[in-house]
Amino acid sequence: MSVKKIMSSPVITIDMDDRLSTVNEIFLKNKFHHLLVVKNNMLFGVISDRDLLKALSPNIGTTAEKSHDKATYNKRVHQVMNRDPICIEQHHSIHAAIALFLEKDITCIPVVDKKKRPVGIVSWRDILKAIQRPQVPKID
């Protein structure tokens, strides 16, 4: 089975100069944990919900919150993102994706075309769902 069959597509991307407040809004509205970071439609990085939480002040939303805590929302994506992500092309097998997950200890793999433009994203959950699905027998 190819990565194309299990990847999430289309993907929501974010620009390198967007603010973390924008990232936070996207994560709050959607049920995913990674955003692909692009510049001129080319993939440059990945930012996860964990990256966001590490970058924001722990005092946000508490009685201890100060103006400098809220200012952490003004950081830019390029200051926090993981650069040069491990990628895969959509024609590769899910076994190739599994090998990358295990070898690189990552939780998502951007799916790109030959020009490194994002076309999808695969998470380890996508792999598990694909493995769990019963295979439909082929009728000859």
pLDDT digits (tens, 9 = 90+) for 59-114: 777 788 687 777 888 999 999 999 989 999 999 999 999 999 999 999 999 999 99
Token representation of residue 69:
């805590």
CATH value at residue 41:
3.10.580.10
Q: Is 123 helix (H, G, I), strand (E, B) or coil?
A: strand
Q: Is the pLDDT of residue 57 over 90?
A: no
In a domain, 137, yes or no: no
Residue 136: pLDDT band with limits 50, 70, 90: low
Residue 135 has pLDDT above 70, yes or no: no
SS (H, E, C) 80-122: CCEECCCCEECCCEHHHHHHHHHHHCCCEEEEECCCCCEEEEE
Considering only residues 122 and 84, tell me which one the structure prediction assigns the higher pLDDT: 122
For residue 119, the one-letter residue type is V
d(CA 68, CA 13): 27
Distance CA 74, CA 67 (A): 11
Q: CA dihedral defined by 132, 8, 113, 103, rounded to 10 degrees?
A: -50
Residue 51 lies in a domain: yes
**Any domain includes 47:** yes
Structural domains in the chain (count)? 1
Domain residue limits at 38:
3-132
At residue 139 the predicted structure's pLDDT band, cuts being 50, 70 and 90, is: low
Contact partners, residue 127, CB within 8 Å, separation at least 6: 6, 94, 97, 98, 101
**123-132 exposure pattern, b = at least 16 Cβ within 10 A, e = fewer:** beebbeeeee
| Cβ atoms of 80 and 74 closer than 8 Å | no
pLDDT averaged over every residue in the chain: 90
In this structure, is residue 140 part of a structural domain? no
